[in-house]
Chains A and B, each alone.
Chain A
Amino acid sequence: MSEQAAYRPGELEAEAQAADNRSRWMLALPAVVIITLAAAGPLMVMVVYSFLTPGDYGNVVWKFSLEGWMNTLVQRDIFDDTLIWADAHLSIFWRSFSLSLITTVLTLIFGVPTAWFIATQPPGKREFWLFLITVPFWTNLLVRTIAIQELLRSEGVINLVLLKLGIIDAPIQMMFTNFAIGFGMTYVYLPLMVLPVYAAVDKLDFRLVEAAHDLYAGRWTAFRRVILPLIKPGIIAGSILVFIPSLGAYVTPRVLGGGKNLMFGNLIELQFGQGRNWPLGAALSLMLMAAVMIALMWYVRVTSREQSDG
């Protein structure tokens, strides 16, 4: 009998496979440890904190409490201790949601034609145009927000030009408004719409558009009935890529919205600053995370349905 016969069939292979798995895990270990320590782990700790009692000077007291979660939606009336809706929070949720939606629509309006324009350029020129879109995306978000701030200020370029032209008599207050936040977010997140839509138009089979024209469809009908359904995956991807960071935006609303026009992210920060209510801040953070997850799940469902349809 040969020595190999001592092994059952497939045993060596299974052992080699197990060794391979072990070495792969060892290789991935540093990345796994770093992210567990400084990203995933702290999120778990935050879940615990959302169920604790706020300390008087910030931080927490280690006593179980549901106040943090309750305070996200309701608050106690300071006089008779009844529960009333936390209107301030509700209006901030609404502002975050509606401004994110408006931002998504605006980036669609400007982003789709831009993506189309780039994708229909001659192949040699496309990379240049694409580069022009991508550079602002990778440049500092704070710097781009500052650029918008300087434009919108009362003594900024827009007001100055309008005054010079005699269109207005006094500067328009644009900073610290919802308009400023929406404008700023559209500006900073626009590349996130253009890139996926570009990828979709790039893959578009133009023979189908020609077929539509041959069948007497006008440009508009061809766009609506043929092109739009074909580039829909790119449009959905772009919308999600814009909507999610808008919902969680912090820097842009802080710089352009000021202290009055808070968004979700700024409300969270407030609880760790002047609000001194860490459990509420933790609960709000988890709510925001849940909202993002819902948006992502919706995206996964829609795209998997699209794929099974196709």
Chain B
Amino acid sequence: MAESRMQKPPKGYSVRTLPGFAIVAIFTLITLYAPIAILVMFSFNAGTSMAIWEGFSLRWYQQAVANEAVQDAAMRSLFLALVAASVATVAATMAAMATTRTRHFPGKTMIYALINQPLMVPEIVTAVALLIVFAAIKVWTGHTSMIYLIVAHTAFCVPFAYLPIRARLETMDLSLETAAQDLYASRWLTFRRVTLPLMWPGIVAGLMLAFVISLDDVVITEFVKSAGQETLPTYMLGQLRRVVTPEVNAISTVILLAGAILVSLFFRLTSKRG
């Protein structure tokens, strides 16, 4: 390198800079966003190409909105994510209260391992295991409603909802609840007026994370859904086998936007201290 050993370090010499690292980092960040930027750009293309710009137009958005299969899949995705994320968040909140702020109790490790189990197993493995079980139940009962998707989504949403809620609970000040009970508040009143408001940001963050995770899921949905139960991601996966038009880009852009907004909100909620 330029600095020979005996020379005085030049001005601005910092042990924090490593040669070439900044260039690689900038290159990486650009590469991370370029494909998404191109995808979004061509969703506004007037032509059918996804590489040649032929002018600005909203035709692919109009086409996607007018497409009944897309409407149907979008509504199903939203309904599923809303139900699964809500149920998962309630269950995760209760589980987080059970497993934090206590010494070790019998079964605590087991509960903890079970809640995190969906994170440890590859999604495709859970997906085929669910296919096996649900196929048997579907044959046995003849019942093929959305309930299978709701149950499956709720299960894998639980660990994602659990993480921020647990993190919030662990940093919470116990003395406030003790004070409430010293002032003769019942356990329920303490929970409702002190504990719940304090852990609320964690709960909302957990709900949003679970919502995004459910909305984005493709693997488990693909294996669990019955005929005619496409969600937006499985619909898009199916479309990829055919001739792809920028309609897919338009749907992708909307999903990206929704995800980015939710994640930004999540960041704001979890980064605020106190």
B-binding residues in A (CB < 8 A): 17, 20-21, 24-25, 27-32, 34-43, 45-46, 49, 59, 109-111, 113-114, 116-118, 120, 127, 129, 131-136, 138-144, 146-151, 153, 155-157, 159-160, 187, 190-191, 206, 209-210, 213, 216, 218-220, 222-223, 244-245, 247-248, 250-251, 254-255, 265, 268-269, 272, 278, 281-282, 285-286, 288-289, 292-293, 296
Contacts and interface: CB of A to CB of B under 8 A. Distances in A.
B146 interface: no
A132 B31 CA distance: 12
A151 B35 contact: yes
Given A116-B21, A153-B50, 13 more contacts: A31-B92, A32-B115, A42-B129, A113-B21, A140-B216, A143-B255, A143-B256, A150-B50, A156-B50, A159-B51, A250-B127, A285-B125, A292-B122
B252 A190 contact: no
The dominant DSSP class at the B interface is helix
B98 A25 contact: yes
A135 B263 CA distance: 7
B274 interface: no
A28 B256 contact: no
A194 B152 CA distance: 30
A110 B29 CA distance: 10
B183 interface: no
The dominant DSSP class at the A interface is helix
Interface residues of B, number: 95
Interface stretch (B59-67, B102-110, B169-177, B194-202): B102-110
Contacts of A244: 122
Contacts of A28: 94-95, 98-99, 111
Given A35-B118, A143-B39, A155-B51, A49 B125 contact: no
B44 interface: no
Nearest to A152: B35
9 contacts: A27-B97, A28-B111, A42-B126, A43-B121, A147-B252, A157-B38, A159-B51, A187-B31, A250-B123
A49 B212 CA distance: 33
A31 B162 contact: yes
Contact of A27 (B17, B94, B248, B255): B94
Contact of A36 (B106, B114, B237): B114
Contacts of B27: 110
Contacts of B22: 113, 117
A206 B155 contact: no
B28 A111 contact: yes
Contact of A248 (B21, B125, B264): B125
Interface in B223-257: 223, 233, 236-237, 240, 244, 248-249, 252, 255-256
Given A141-B218, A292-B121, A272 B102 contact: no
Interface string B19-33: 111101111110111
Contacts of B248: 146
A117 B95 CA distance: 38
B158 A35 contact: yes
A116 B157 CA distance: 32
